[in-house]
Structure 1
């Protein structure tokens, strides 16, 4: 048999059992306090109402479960049958709620009637009335104590249910947090090696930066010294060349003033001057070339 079919059958059996118990509780509420029937001290009216309400809540839960399982049935015929059953369950639940309200009204009427009879008996004289008053006081005290205990137990049960739900949500939150922490730990382990390599690269780049700064400073110093050396040498050579040129010009002018009348020797004089200037400037150019 299919698992869904098995679950549906299980829900049906639970529904029949819960529905029967709820009907019994409602009937007990309707008969509560009737004349000639001893009142059950254990199952008071409040307790019977609580059990009936629990039964109706269970029926609503089973109705919801069947509503979820119905579309998952293997055949269309079974799905349709489940839907019809759901409608009948809904109608029956509404009828039980109405019956519970009517049963409570009937129980109140029974209690009023019983109280009226008890009053009439208590107002009467005799030993029977005295014994009945004592029994009534004892039963009233016991009933009040039982009702208070029942209410206390119901509140305790509700608190326990709320605490269980809160603990369940806390456990789910803890599971999610654990998953997130595990994921974060794996990601951190994956990035740890990358961070170590990055740190080593940064240290290497810092050392290289210091070395580059030192090299640039030394290069700039050497370049400045070379520039100063070249400039100083160039200034000295220009001064020397200017002095030599002035000396040569002064010597040529002096020779022209001593023999202005020798026209015949003028050509020879110019030849000698050119030779002299040539022979004098040759060593200067040679020295300039050597200095450079």
Structure 2
């Protein structure tokens, strides 16, 4: 419980610290942008010291710096908008929302001031060009020296502007490459997440496949056992059928023998009766003489 409290308090401190850092970055960028806009507004005006004119930035360079400053301010506003919901109390959140509204108005004011400063710089340049033209068209040694200095300055200015433009193009290319690299990293992170998800799903399917393989091996063993049981049963059934058939065939033979014997006995009895009948029919008839067995027999011989 204490560890959770400490972690939440440390995260709150980090958010507050980041909030204060964002406000400081905003203040620094705002002051620099104001200075660049002021320099654009004063661009083209004459200065009492020629060395100061040599040290001045070109109008294109000043506009680039001002645009970069406004972009930095917009980034700081976006970061503050992200940090606002994470602030620890309602007072901090209300203060941050008020600051966001104020920053939005200041950014709009800076953009308007930048447009006005560019218009003023163009007016200053037109006025300076008019004065230069009048001086160049005039006679005397001063006009000759000024024309030579102007040619030198024009060459240096064109060279500086070309270098500045090249640097700006390089910077834009680097920004594009950084953005492309960021998008590539995001794509890699998404691909990594997809691969991790696919790996977890593969692990789940792998366990399922292992269980399925075990079930298939069990079913194969059961199938082999069922085949053995069926073959054994069929063999036993066939042996029983053969035994019954063989026994049945033996009984039938015995029956045939008994019936044959009975028939043979009956035929012999019929033959004896017939023979006796024939004997009685063929025997001669003898006279029926009554002998007196009680009288003595005389021998006539």
> If the length of structure 1 is used for normalisation, what is the TM-score?
0.67
Please report how far the alpha carbon of residue 10 of structure 1 lies from its aligned counterpart in structure 2 after TM superposition.
3.8
The answer to whether the aligner puts 1:109 opposite 2:123 as a matched pair is yes
Instruction: Report how far residue 140 of structure 1 moved.
Output: 2.1
Q: Alpha carbons of 1:188 and 1:242: their partners in 2 closer, same or farther (altered >3 Å)?
A: same
Match in the other structure for 2:160 = 146
195-204 or 32-41: bigger deviation: 195-204
**Aligned position for 1:100:** 114
Q: Within the alignment, does 1:23 sit opposite 2:34 as a pair?
A: yes
Q: Greater CA deviation, 192-201 or 226-235?
A: 192-201
**Cα-to-partner distance string for 1:109-131 (whole Å, 9 max, x where unaligned):** 12222223333333445554444
1:199-236 Cα offsets, whole Å, 9 max, x none, are 57756764665565466446534543553353244234
Question: What count of residue pairs does the alignment treat as equivalent?
Answer: 262
Three-state SS of the structure 1 residue aligned to 2:172 is helix
Distance in 1 between residues matched to 2:43 and 2:78, nearest whole Å: 32
Q: 1:59-78 alignment to 2 at 5 Å?
A: 59-70=73-84, 76=90
Deviations 1:173-224 (A, max 9, x none): 5456556666766887788788678757756764665565466446534543
Deviates more, 1:156-165 or 1:48-57: 156-165
Unaligned runs of 5+ in 2: 1-11, 277-301
1:290 is matched with: none
Match of 2:282 in 1: none
Q: 1:157 aligns with which of 160, 171, 184?
A: 171
Kindly name which structure, 1 or 2, has the bigger radius of gyration based on alpha carbons: 2
RMSD across aligned C-alpha pairs, in angstroms?
Answer: 4.1
Q: Which deviations, in whole Å up to 9, do the C-alpha atoms of 1:138-175 show, x marking residues without a partner? A: 32222222222222222322332333344345445545
Deviation at 1:242, TM superposition (A): 2.3
**Structure 1 segments unaligned to the other structure (5+ residues):** 263-292
Residue aligned with 1:43, SS = coil
State the distance in 2 between where 1:119 and 1:239 align.
152
Residues 1:230 and 2:241 are matched in the alignment: no
